[in-house]
Amino acid sequence: MRSYNKGFKLYIVQLICVLTLGLYQLEWGSWQIETNILSLLPTSSHQQDAAKAKTALFQQANQRVTVAISGERSIAAYRELAEVIKTFDGIEYQEIKLPEISDVIAFYAPYRDSVLTPNYQQLLSSSLALNDFVIGQLTQISNPFVSGSLAIAPRLNLADFLYNGLSSLQSFDTEQGIITVTQQNKTYYIMPIKVDVDGFSVKQTQLFSQQLQDQFARIEQRFQVDLLYSGVLFHTAESSKQAEYEMSTFGVISLLAVLLMILVVFRSAVPVNLAVGVLVIALVYGLTAVVTFFDQLHLLTLVFAVTLIGVVIDYCFHAFVSINENGGLKSIRTALFLGFFTTALGYAALIFSPLILLGQVAVFMIFGLLGALLTVLFLLPSLPLKKPIRVQPVIWQITGKLQSVLLCLNAKRMVISFLLIVILGVTVAVDEVNFNDDIRLLNSSPAALINNEIAMAKLMGYQHSQRIVITAPDSEALLQRQETLLAKLAQQDGLKVKSIGSLLPSVARQQQSNDLLHAADLQQRFSPGLASLGLTDSVDAFKPLTLAAFNEGPLQQLAELYIYQYENKYALWVETSGTPLNTELISWIQEQNDISIDDKPGEVSAALTKYRHALLILFAGAVLVVAIVLCIRFGLYNGLLGLLPILLSAGSALLLTQALLGHLNIFNLLAVLLILALAIDYVIFYQEHSLRRHTVLAITLSAISSALVFGVLALSVTPAVQSFGLTVMLGILFVFILAPLSAPKVTEHNDLEKHRYGHVHE
Amino acid sequence: MAKLLRILGLTLLLSARVNATELSPSINSLAQFNPLTVATGTFVQNKFFTVLKNPISSTGNIYFDQKLGFIWETTQPIYSAMILKQDGLYSVDHLQQVKRIKNAGSIAAILMNAISGDVATLSKEFTLSENNKNQCVQLTPKNEVIAKVMRVIELCGSGTVEHLVLFETSGNRTEIDVTLSAINQLPEAARAQLQ
């Protein structure tokens, strides 16, 4: 019976633990898959409160789909689409439900003398003005607010308040109960649809999107109408479809390419099977760690995680090349450990990054590589292999030639390094490093969907619309701050403002209104008008309308739309449109801690800039860690010599990427950190084993496989993934050429071989 | 089975006849007014509020052109105007302050169609019935939005609409006497307001 060593037994125990945890997370874990790229980005750090409030207030926006139908048979098309949508589970046609005017008036009756419009306040100074106002209102051909409230509020301040309050919140006309927008003599019939997109699978998003798009196409054809649609749903469905496609395609292509290479080199299926086994274990480790540490697993994390294949295969190649040679796996154990340790340290810096994506990728890679390392070191040597893994002689011959070339390069390393430094320096001086953090450059939605969004924004008048969010510890403070903001906004001409303040003033403002009415009543300002109507009425004592009371009334849906309570705090939003906010207003808002403009693309771009700077600091930190590790292990001179190709490769990759793409972004910097991690492995192996054929072969195979994997990512249509892949691929090529420069000199190399293994390898 | 189908067929035929008989007043009503396309005139309006002893009276001018729009101009006791243009409904108060009124365009369009006697267009939004007592046409809104405000509109007159009564859901009513004359083109000032 075969006896197993302690390391192997421990390996099996921990493998079982990881598999059990993985199965538990798969079956009972609370994690879910996330597809929105913006969800990966940090919330506005200086206003965490505002960010939370915005998420709470605008979460419904992600569920909204808007359809605009135009053409001769628009109404018939609209009705049929509405009927079909009613039959879909999870998709809801949101019919306009207007509250009964009589209910609204009855609700406000107890507060009738606490509400005034600014215009009515101005009238209070003159009996004549008040009388003219009342007569003007009463002679209107039809004003349901006047008709309905005359009996309970004959001063008509309530009718004026409700009419103006509701009108200011109403953006659109209606026809036969349908919202309409007229643009260039063409009427568009607007259908709001709500899609239940909370916590369901990616497949369901795609299903909803497909269901709706099929119906839109059918309705367009059947009724010969033009149909425009917009909504986050369609972008999510498209991007998730694209990510899934890329993940499966790229994953399969890179895996097949790498496996083919193994077959060519070793002419045996054993290394293929072993490599697949190590990869599977690495993936299980990586995924288990991510779903354990994070509530969400982003699809983009999985796309980036394809790179794990390249690094894991690197370990496998070192193991396969050395397993049946002198010293076996023990000879590379130190280099593997050191490589993993330094790489993990590099990634560990990312865990503390505020970008969730970086954190997820780092955790996935660290734990995936740990799984691969443990498997290579403890499982592979214990496996009973019928046939030893041997490199084909022809491969050794090719490696020998490559080794000669690398030795030549190594002999001229000072010249090559100097030349590269000069070239990089001149390039940077001539063509400045150009970073562009605009999030819109990373948008991968199809042009048709983006055009639809633009057309819908124009139609609905959202082009210059902005949402301003206010947060406060209580509802009264919230409403008072809103009134301060509204007063500021009123100073800009042409600005249209929508806010709940037109129907729910603060208690302080209501008290002030009540006081004004009392004062005007005492001065007999209402008496002539009331007398001419044959009516008498006195001003009520103050009774405040609170948010709690408002929430119990017929306009509760409006309160829900504009005001949100979260974590014992309150938030509301005010919408401006018609013209962009002027610089004075923007500056004023930026000075307020509790008021902020909701500008997601702007905020994300600003966040990207901020975190790009943070990444540069992290990058410097990682370089320092690597330098320390290398200097400790190999001495100051060799340590710095090892650092040189790493830095030169990263710099060259970045500059070449800029030359190809025109600019750099945060994902190129992320790629640099990965280049660093991969390059460390190569440099450590060259430093540990010099330019031995085994090392050259293992690193060559690793570099080819990594370049294949990352080269595939450069073909992605997602700009973030594409720029990442391109930089890493270029970086790997540079590292492959430059890392051998750090190896000990040829004479030293032979001495080293003799010293370590008692002979010089052929 | 064949018998059952025959009975069903007969029932459908009878019900169709009944429906045709029910529709006949509407068809008669349609012939009652000759729709005006361009017209001008005056009105006298009396609003009867349930809480007031006396009606609130007002007078003014009407201008309409089916292609351009509609002006309802109150001159007495205080100036105000309601202007329905192609791009929406506007109100002007006695201080000449102009306001765009959202979501009331359909009510204004109904008023224009009612005054012009365009019963055919009104029949899309209203159920028509004839009041045999006073030879008037009664319009009951089909649309829920309009029904929240207006219970019934009564149009009376011969040839053109001469008397109009709006019965509101609140119980109040508005009686309007209209004198209209067809013209070829609206006065320049009115055209300018509608463009």
DSSP string, A397-416: HHHHHHHHHHHHHHHTHHHH
Q: Scan residues 83-142 of A and list those with Cβ closer than 8 Å to B.
A: 98, 100-102, 132, 135-136, 138-142
Interface of B with A (CB under 8 A): 45, 47, 49-54, 56, 58, 72, 74, 77-78, 80, 82, 86-88, 93-94, 101-103, 105-107, 111, 125, 143-145, 148-150, 166, 168-170, 172, 174, 176
pLDDT at residue A488, rounded to an integer: 94
Q: How would residue A144 be classed by pLDDT, with cut points 50, 70 and 90?
A: confident
Q: Which of A139, A178, A184 has the highest number of chain B CBs within 10 A, making it the mutation to test binding with B?
A: A139
Contact A140 B82 (CB under 8 A): yes
Q: How would residue A434 be classed by pLDDT, with cut points 50, 70 and 90?
A: confident
Confirm or reject contact between A3 and chain B (CB < 8 A).
no
Find the CB nearest A139 among B58, B88, B172.
B58
Confirm or reject contact between A462 and chain B (CB < 8 A).
no
Q: How would residue B95 be classed by pLDDT, with cut points 50, 70 and 90?
A: confident
Which two structure tokens, joined as six digits, stand for A164? 């103006």
Q: Are strands A296-298 and A32-34 parallel, antiparallel or unpaired?
A: parallel
Q: Which residue in B34, B18, B28 sits closest to B162, CA to CA?
A: B34
CA distance B114 to chain A (A): 13
Contact A136 B78 (CB under 8 A): yes
Contact B107 A142 (CB under 8 A): yes
pLDDT at residue A3, rounded to an integer: 56
pLDDT at residue A755, rounded to an integer: 41
Least CA distance to A181: which residue of chain B? B87
Q: Which of A126, A128, A135, A140 has the highest number of chain B CBs within 10 A, making it the mutation to test binding with B?
A: A140
Contact B80 A142 (CB under 8 A): no
Most confident of A269-273, A299-303, A432-436, A698-702: A698-702
Name the 3-class secondary structure at A595. Answer: strand
Q: Which of B103, B124, B176 has the highest number of chain A CBs within 10 A, making it the mutation to test binding with A?
A: B103
Residue B16's alpha-carbon distances to B6, B9, B11, B12, in angstroms, are: 15, 11, 9, 6
Mean pLDDT across A174-185: 78
Contact B143 A177 (CB under 8 A): yes
Mean pLDDT across A582-598: 89
Chain B residues with CB inside 8 Å of A185's CB? 86
CA distance A144 to chain B (A): 6
Find the CB nearest A132 among B49, B94, B106.
B94
Chain B residues with CB inside 8 Å of A141's CB? 45, 72, 82, 111, 166, 174, 176
pLDDT at residue A624, rounded to an integer: 85
pLDDT at residue A342, rounded to an integer: 82
Q: Write the pLDDT tens digit of every residue in A486-531.
A: 999 999 988 888 899 999 999 999 999 999 999 999 998 888 888 8
pLDDT at residue A752, rounded to an integer: 44
Q: How would residue B15 be classed by pLDDT, with cut points 50, 70 and 90?
A: very low
Q: Are strands B88-92 and A496-498 parallel, antiparallel or unpaired?
A: unpaired
Most confident of A72-81, A94-103, A389-398, A625-634: A72-81
Angstrom distance (rounded) from CA A575 to CA A749: 72
Mean pLDDT across B124-130: 83
CA distance B178 to chain A (A): 13
Chain A residues with CB inside 8 Å of B115's CB? none
Contact B166 A142 (CB under 8 A): yes
pLDDT at B26 over 50: no
Q: A323 or A293: whose pLDDT is higher?
A: A293
pLDDT at A748 over 60: no
Confirm or reject contact between A177 and chain B (CB < 8 A).
yes
Average pLDDT, chain A: 83
Q: What is the pTM of this model?
A: 0.67
Least confident segment among A110-119, A214-223, A346-355, A471-480? A346-355
Q: Which of A135, A138, A141 has the highest number of chain B CBs within 10 A, making it the mutation to test binding with B?
A: A141
Q: How would residue B23 be classed by pLDDT, with cut points 50, 70 and 90?
A: very low
Q: Which residue in A524, A604, A433 sits closest to A155, CA to CA?
A: A524
CA distance B129 to chain A (A): 20
Give the length of chain B. 195
Q: A657 or A177: whose pLDDT is higher?
A: A657
pLDDT at residue A52, rounded to an integer: 67
First-to-last C-alpha distance (Å) of chain A: 37
Q: Count of CB contacts below 8 A, A vs B? A: 92
Chain B residues with CB inside 8 Å of A151's CB? 49-51
pLDDT at residue B105, rounded to an integer: 61
Chain B residues with CB inside 8 Å of A167's CB? 101-103
Q: Are A69 and A191 in contact (CB under 8 A)?
A: yes
Q: Are A116 and A161 in contact (CB under 8 A)?
A: yes
C-beta neighbour count of A644 within 10 angstroms: 18
Mean pLDDT across B19-46: 66
pLDDT at residue A707, rounded to an integer: 82
Contact B102 A173 (CB under 8 A): yes
Chain A residues with CB inside 8 Å of B141's CB? none
pLDDT at residue A158, rounded to an integer: 94
pLDDT at residue A513, rounded to an integer: 95
Find the CB nearest B52 among A102, A132, A534.
A534
Which two structure tokens, joined as six digits, stand for B10? 């007969």
Least CA distance to A171: which residue of chain B? B102
CA distance B125 to chain A (A): 8
Angstrom distance (rounded) from CA A310 to CA A279: 10
Q: How would residue A441 be classed by pLDDT, with cut points 50, 70 and 90?
A: low
The DSSP annotation for chain B comes to -HHHHHHHHHHHHHHHHHHHHHHHHHHHHHHHB---SEEEEEEEEEEE-TT-SS-EEEEEEEEEETTTEEEEEEEESS-EEEEEETTEEEEE-TT--EEEETT-HHHHHHHHHHHHT-HHHHTTTEEEEEETTTTEEEEEE-SHHHHTTEEEEEEE-SBS--EEEEEETTS-EEEEEEEEEE-SS--HHHHHHH-
pLDDT at residue A760, rounded to an integer: 38
Confirm or reject contact between A184 and chain B (CB < 8 A).
no
Least CA distance to B175: which residue of chain A? A141
Residue A39's alpha-carbon distances to A297, A355, A684, in angstroms, are: 11, 10, 37
Mean pLDDT across A698-709: 84
Chain A residues with CB inside 8 Å of B105's CB? 173
Q: Are B38 and B119 in contact (CB under 8 A)?
A: no
Which amino acid does the sequence have at B122?
A: L
pLDDT at residue A439, rounded to an integer: 63
Find the CB nearest B105 among A102, A136, A173.
A173
User: What angle (nearest 5°) sits at the alpha carbon of residue A463, between those of residues A460 and A466?
Assistant: 105
Chain A residues with CB inside 8 Å of B88's CB? 173, 182
Q: How would residue B24 be classed by pLDDT, with cut points 50, 70 and 90?
A: very low
Which amino acid does the sequence have at A305?
A: A
Percent of chain A at pLDDT above 70?
88
Contact B168 A132 (CB under 8 A): no
Angstrom distance (rounded) from CA A271 to CA A683: 24
The β-bridge partners of A714 are none
